[in-house]
Structure 1
Amino acid sequence: MSMNDLLTTKQQEVLHSYLADDYKMMILTGAIRSGKTFIDNLLFLYELRRTAESAKKRGKIHPQYILAGASSGSIQNNVINSLRNQFGIELSPDRHNHFHLYGVDIIPVYTQSIRGLSGARGFDSNGAYINEASLANQFVFQEILNRCSEPGARIICDTNPDQPQHFLKTDYIDNEKPGLKTKSFRFTIDDNTFLAPDYIQQIKAATPTGMFYDRNILGLWVSGDGLVYRDFDKNRMVIQQSQVPNIVKYYCGVDWGFEHKGVITVWGDDSKGNIYMLEEHTSQFKYIDYWVKVANKIRDKYGKGITFWVDSARPDNYSEFLRAGINARNADKARMAGVERVSEYMKQCKFFAVKDGMDQFLNEVYQYVWDENTGEPKKENDDVMDSMRYAIFNEHKENTTQFLNSKYF
């Protein structure tokens, strides 16, 4: 078996650089399914062996190494489970939630919020592997770098791209100061030559136009430009009530409001995976008793058990829904993930809206635009858009981790 059977050309380039070049930090960035996490997991094993050998030479009996990720779950899914599946290596946490391999104490640090600072302080590390680095809080990221003070300590990172003003891009990837000693590699989905060509074509066809395509397929650090839902096509996607097929599941999205508009949207799925906005109820200056009445009318029409995915920002309103017997659930409000999920349905022409059921939907969808400063949608003209996002993202949320589709990945 040759190296070409185990690693792609881009992965071999990274491995050669790891073994031959002088650097302090190596950042792998780029497209989804491109193979960057696989090679970084392999480099992580190299780093642990290097740490063990270096510690032995220096008479250190308890070398430490940081394994960082957005959360405990992401570390488990992206690194621990992958080491088991790809290399047959079992890592089980001790009573302190640390891992151990080759005599190295592997200390997990959670980077998604400032709370991760506490886990990164109070020790010196021989290096760090930072998974999903663009999701890291900047202060936690910097503290991890500060901890890597042992002789020869290095940092390896992998990440999907974010907006171009992200600190990881400006302060490290684009920073050419010689003393920083940063190496970076950009992956595209086509770099993963172990993926079947028809699978790559399917992913490309399903990825929304614009920012999501540039980031997820081409591996570029770009901001959104213009309309958020660029693939929305009024001529194809706005339909008459008579065109709605048999619906197999109903659900709702709720965006609370008073000074700004409050919204309840009603959605349905057919057996082919298409989604339909059946009704939109939008009003301003209405108290919770009004929205309870609207919800009860929806329940009378579509079934008492219909789920209402509600904005968690108003726990008092959520409690009133529960007291009224309404099946309310707090929505996961992950903004970019939700926008991407809605965009995917539009890109695949699986999104439809009933003309007679609309109120403000068309006004908002054509005014819902990207904010170039934040890289996210502007908080304007977004009441119906938020209701739509809560409903679609949460009802179709995937909880299973997706792995690369080949025998080696």
Structure 2
Amino acid sequence: MGTAEPALSEKQEISIARSTAWLNVWEGSVRSGKTIASLLRWLMYVENAPAGGELVIVGKTFDTVARNVFGPLTDPSLFGEASKLVHYTRGASVATILGKTVEIITANDAKAEARLRGLTGAGAYVDEMTLLPKEFFKRLIDRMSVPGALIFGTTNPDNPGHWLRKDWLNRAAELGIRSWHFTLDDNPALAPEYVARMKQAFTGLWYRRYILGHWVMSEGAIYEAFDSTRHVVDEIPTITRWLCDAIDYGTVNPFADLLIGLGADQRIYVTSEYRHDSRTARRQMTDAEYSAARRVWLNGQGVRPEFTVVDPSAASFIEQLHRDSTPGVVPAENTVLDGIRTVASLLAADRLRIHRSCVGLIDELPGYSWDDEAAEKGEDKPIKQDDHSCDALRYGVRTTEALWRPHIPMLLEVAA
């Protein structure tokens, strides 16, 4: 194969040598070396894969596959000469690995199961297994019908009631599955300074899962790092870039709009809040009235943000903003857990601060909690109560991430 293999830990070497079961899973904390070990094993498998079927790489989206799989595979510092034999264009449905055609299949929703129809599988690599729909994964297993076909996959820990752990990993001996648990200490490539930064970047649930590598239930406060004495401020520094105003739309429920900017001190600031609660005001507002009120509020701030990020379910309000020629209107990126994790990381690293005038957001943050009933079912969900400004916050922060992340270098990207 011609790979210049990276320095491997003993656990990585063992997992590569022994991953001969029909399903092989590398699970554990982020940056723990599980992805490199699994990808090296995948290259070895592709080179000698059984004939008569198709090889596939599966991930949640084309972007995650490009970042988590093909980013490392095409890095010569990781895979040497073999990296030159991996060819992939971001967004494409086909790649070439070691001269063999490999299909890329995404599984972002329940309808993804249809993408497996007609597949005769000779082998699969699955990225971020817990993010796949349950039925899709079962169908993928059914489609690996070529004799000798193997499946390799990676995952970060999730809720202990998640279907992957409950239905498959907990039954590993019974089903003939092999899995390996990794922590940061199993990755010899990490510098001690980097490990220390990783541990500072997460708190609460995310620390337990992504640093300790534990499958733990979500419970209690979501933003455990929030401290009003540290994160709530009276003065705002020079804002170098007005990122957005971020809107959680409501008619009966409160309407919340947050103005968010990037400070000269490399922090994100929520500088102002417009909020209308129809129950308190005893008056509901129309889309046109909300749009007009938003303009008045922003004019009073003397700010025109680059984007207006809107609750993606508020189709009628988005249409009203377009009619009013509002520039930069975009539906919010609404992957809830990713948004929560990003906000939590910013708070833990003291990279997010809120002006004291944002009363609605400040009141909501301490009580923003995980739903215990959902957790018992293996799901991580916030309680849908008193969360409107919190939703607007994650909409704005997550959707504009590409704009602010290069300016906040100490915040680490979460990846396998």
Same fold, TM-score > 0.5, yes or no: yes
| Amino acid across the alignment from 2:218 | G
- 1:160–1:216 CA contact under 8 A, matched in 2: yes
Distance 1:164 1:397, change over 3 A: farther
The aligned runs of 1:330-341 (5 Å cut-off) are 330-341=331-342
1:26-57: per-residue Cα shift (whole Å, max 9, x none)? 11111111111111111111212332xx43xx
Percent same amino acid among aligned pairs? Answer: 24
Structure 2: give runs of 5+ residues left out of the alignment: 279-283
CA distance in 2, matches of 1:134, 1:361: 31
1:249 corresponds to 2:241: yes
1:96-134: per-residue Cα shift (whole Å, max 9, x none)? 943444665423222222333233222322222111111
CA distance in 2, matches of 1:145, 1:38: 23
| Amino acid across the alignment from 2:369 | V
CA distance in 2, matches of 1:297, 1:38: 52
SS of equivalent to 1:193: coil
1:84 corresponds to 2:82: no
Shift of 1:396: 2.4
- 2:53–2:146 CA contact under 8 A, matched in 1: no
| Amino acid across the alignment from 2:348 | K
User: Which residue is equivalent to 1:67?
Assistant: 57
The aligned runs of 1:173-192 (5 Å cut-off) are 173-178=169-174, 180-192=175-187
Distance 1:99 1:345, change over 3 A: closer
How many pairs does the alignment contain? 385
The aligned runs of 1:158-177 (5 Å cut-off) are 158-177=154-173
Shift of 1:338: 1.0
- 2:220–2:370 CA contact under 8 A, matched in 1: yes
User: Which residue is equivalent to 2:295?
Assistant: 296
CA distance in 1, matches of 2:262, 2:180: 41
Shift of 1:177: 5.0
Structure 1: give runs of 5+ residues left out of the alignment: 56-61
User: Which residue is equivalent to 1:237?
Assistant: 231
| Amino acid across the alignment from 2:286 | Y
| Amino acid across the alignment from 1:314 | A
SS of equivalent to 1:349: coil
User: Which residue is equivalent to 1:360?
Assistant: 360
Deviates more, 1:151-160 or 1:285-294: 285-294
1:375 corresponds to 2:371: no
CA distance in 1, matches of 2:151, 2:173: 17
CA distance in 2, matches of 1:165, 1:244: 43
- 1:282–1:359 CA contact under 8 A, matched in 2: no
- 1:32–1:160 CA contact under 8 A, matched in 2: yes
1:281 corresponds to 2:281: no
1:45 corresponds to 2:38: no
Shift of 1:273: 1.5
Deviates more, 1:122-131 or 1:310-319: 122-131
The aligned runs of 1:91-102 (5 Å cut-off) are 91-92=86-87, 97-101=93-97
1:264 corresponds to 2:257: yes
SS of equivalent to 1:281: strand
User: Which residue is equivalent to 2:130?
Assistant: 134
CA distance in 1, matches of 2:271, 2:156: 35
1:391 corresponds to 2:389: no
Deviates more, 1:25-34 or 1:68-77: 68-77
CA distance in 2, matches of 1:101, 1:187: 26
- 1:93–1:99 CA contact under 8 A, matched in 2: yes
SS of equivalent to 2:398: helix
CA distance in 1, matches of 2:359, 2:101: 59
Distance 1:64 1:245, change over 3 A: closer
Shift of 1:400: 9.5
User: Which residue is equivalent to 1:122?
Assistant: 118
Shift of 1:260: 0.8
SS of equivalent to 2:56: strand
1:175-229: per-residue Cα shift (whole Å, max 9, x none)? 1452x1011111112221211110110111122x111111111121222221111
- 2:57–2:125 CA contact under 8 A, matched in 1: yes
- 1:299–1:306 CA contact under 8 A, matched in 2: no
User: Which residue is equivalent to 1:152?
Assistant: 148
- Relative to the length of structure 1, the TM-score reads 0.86
- 1:224–1:375 CA contact under 8 A, matched in 2: yes
User: Which residue is equivalent to 1:228?
Assistant: 222
Deviates more, 1:226-235 or 1:341-350: 341-350
- 1:253–1:309 CA contact under 8 A, matched in 2: yes
| Amino acid across the alignment from 1:229 | Y
- 2:11–2:186 CA contact under 8 A, matched in 1: yes
- Relative to the length of structure 2, the TM-score reads 0.85
Distance 1:324 1:103, change over 3 A: closer
State the superposition RMSD in angstroms. Answer: 2.7
User: Which residue is equivalent to 2:281?
Assistant: none
Distance 1:76 1:396, change over 3 A: closer
- 2:172–2:178 CA contact under 8 A, matched in 1: no
Shift of 1:23: 2.3
SS of equivalent to 2:121: coil
- 2:7–2:189 CA contact under 8 A, matched in 1: no
CA distance in 1, matches of 2:101, 2:302: 56
Shift of 1:388: 1.1
Distance 1:100 1:246, change over 3 A: closer
CA distance in 2, matches of 1:333, 1:395: 12
Deviates more, 1:365-374 or 1:85-94: 85-94
- 1:30–1:220 CA contact under 8 A, matched in 2: yes
SS of equivalent to 2:261: strand
SS of equivalent to 1:126: strand
Distance 1:395 1:195, change over 3 A: same
